[in-house]
Structure 1
């Protein structure tokens, strides 16, 4: 049991700790202090669902029906290119977004209880949720890694495969919460609009590179 749990934790963490579209989005929302818990929980719950699907044996579908991966690949590439274009636009035509350590949320007096850094040009919760879900479920790597690869390894654990799955779920949840809430400490370096232009420019480049890598032959 303990060996399967640790194995699942190690493999789950190794698959998810990488620079990707989903992690970049979580990082950006954490830095902006916008809907942080919602984003972290959405990613963790989505990952847990995919892990359960893979461990349940549904990963064979990807192997049996390869065209499903192609559909997700092209849809994901199109979405990532669109997101990259939006990030590039923010970098080229900045909105003035910056962290204000002295600003207070709506309804909270300045310098009063609950005061926290906020950013200009806040994104609505529905928009954040939609983007987060798209970046998660339109990413073909999540099916190949989380469903197929992790599910295949879990099958080798026999009766302990669900302990293996539990370890992977714990790793995923710990990672997204750590990334979302740990990224806020980068705020001191993002207190100017110029810093946000650099960040959005980097996000645009990485997103576009990931999109191109999805459709180019290996």
Structure 2
């Protein structure tokens, strides 16, 4: 029973941190709508979260917390990447480019999608603060072996969320048959990316 409680606590804690609009979720949603390498994107996001959660539970969060220069480097690199990605989304929104949900056309290369997904995941200092430091601290408060069940629950929550977001996006496909919907989505993505980049720089 204590193990189950720890796992459910991890599940709830993990979901509470990732179920929010952000750079990574916006990207997963867009890929899901395009039906473009959704499985790979979901796998990268879920696996990355699992690695970071295990790092926090293993005590690496303490090391990261004691070396703030690491987060500073990630913060500036992440902010620069988000600004570029946001500007590209804005350009799509106001260009004549037609985005199709047809998986047979207008596809981005697998390499480009994978690198973008990795960058949005690993160049975000909030990921380390939330996943490694915060979840790691909560997990270690569970003691042994509770912390490992907590980590498993948090990792399962991450997997469930990204799978639902990536594969559930197809339910919105009729809405995005209208090109205007894509323009609105890209405007929202651009605003989110730029806003996050600003908060990263202001918080430095």
TMscore range, shorter length: over 0.9
Number of residue pairs the alignment of both structures matches = 201
**Match among 116, 122, 131 for residue 146 of structure 1:** 131
Report the CA distance between 1:11 and its aligned residue: 0.4
Aligned residue number for residue 206 of structure 1: 192
Q: Deviations over 1:163-191 (max 9, x none)?
A: 01000000000000000001111110111
Where in structure 2 are there 5+ consecutive unaligned residues? none
Q: Once the 2 structures are TM-superposed, how far is the Cα of residue 79 of structure 1 from its aligned partner?
A: 0.4
User: Does the CA-based 8 Å contact 2:100-2:106 persist in structure 1?
Assistant: no
More helix by share: 2
CA distance 1:119–1:93, change in 2 (3 Å): farther
- 2:182 & 2:11 partners in 1: Cα distance? 34
Q: Which stretch of the first structure deviates more once superposed, 36-45 or 185-194?
A: 185-194
Aligned-pair CA distance for 1:120: 4.3
What is the TM-score when the length of structure 2 is the normalising length? Answer: 0.95
Alignment of 1:181 with 2:167, yes or no, is yes
Paired residue secondary structure (1:158): coil
Cα distance change of structure 1 residues 128 and 25 upon mapping to structure 2, 3 Å threshold: same
Instruction: Give the whole-Å Cα distance in 1 for the aligned partners of 2:141 and 2:203.
Output: 31
| 1:162 equivalent in structure 2 | 148
Match of 1:131 in 2: 116
Moved more, 43-52 or 118-127: 118-127
CA distance in 2, matches of 1:87, 1:169: 30
Misfit runs of 4+, over 4 Å: none
Contact persistence 1:30–1:183 (CA under 8 A): yes
Aligned residue runs from structure 1 range 75-90, under 5 A: 75-90=77-92
* Secondary structure at the counterpart of residue 173 of structure 2: helix
| Structure 2 counterpart SS, 1:13 | helix
2: CA distance between counterparts of 1:50 and 1:169?
9
Name the structure 2 match of 1:42.
44
- Aligned counterparts, 1:97-108, within 5 A: 97-99=99-101
Q: TM-score, normalised by structure 1?
A: 0.89
Query: What is the rounded CA distance, in whole Å, between the counterparts of 1:48 and 1:167 in structure 2?
Result: 10
The gaps in structure 1 that reach 5 residues or longer are 100-116
Structure 2 CA distance for partners of 1:154 and 1:55, relative to 1, 3 Å: same
